[in-house]
Homo-oligomer: A and B are copies of this chain.
Amino acid sequence: MDGLTEKKISSKEIFKGRIVHLFVDQVLLPNGEESSREVVKHPGAVAVIAVNKEGKLLLVRQYRYPLDGIIYEIPAGKLEPNENPDHSALRELEEETGCQCKKMEKIASFYSSPGFSDELLHVYFTDSLIEGRQHLDQDEFLEVCAVDLEEAIQMIEDHRIFDAKSVYAVQYMQLKAMRAAN
């Protein structure tokens, strides 16, 4: 034993919805005691840092029900069942912004909130966009805009950009710009 790992004793499914699949598990702790763990299983997601030919970052303006507010995020969405993340990234970019692209690269993967969820987010980058027509899901309403890096930084200050993946994306663009300037 590494002194850190917990072992599953039993698992109880609490809820299975369209997104959230909730379990409460009993676990054996490294010290031999028992505890419970609440786990939100999630299919995983993709997000795309998409830069247009003017060098601006594409953002989608969207109402987010859990926050009861409208924020600006990079294009993103859940994986469909058995969907390859590379395919999902191209699909979400096109659905939400109407853009296809010539080339896209995966730049990072990370867990959104490892304390209670297994949601793994894959982040992609593209700057070879081919513009087209948005085609959203039936219950999805959003507007697309493009901002330069300076404005994006200001939007983080203002909490208009207010979620982990989009803050990550702006930092990524900042690092890229600083490297290019050196």
A residues sitting closer than 8 Å to B (CB atoms) are 2-6, 14-15, 17-20, 22, 24-25, 27, 29-31, 33, 35-42, 45, 61-67, 70-71, 73, 76, 78, 108-119, 121, 138-139, 141-143, 156, 159, 162-168, 171-172, 174-175, 178-179, 182
Contacts and interface: CB of A to CB of B under 8 A. Distances in A.
A121 to B, nearest CB: 7
B78 A115 contact: yes
8 contacts: A3-B141, A4-B70, A20-B38, A66-B118, A76-B115, A109-B159, A112-B163, A117-B117
* Copies of this chain in the oligomer: 2
Contacts of A143: 4
Given A4-B143, A42-B116, A22 B20 contact: yes
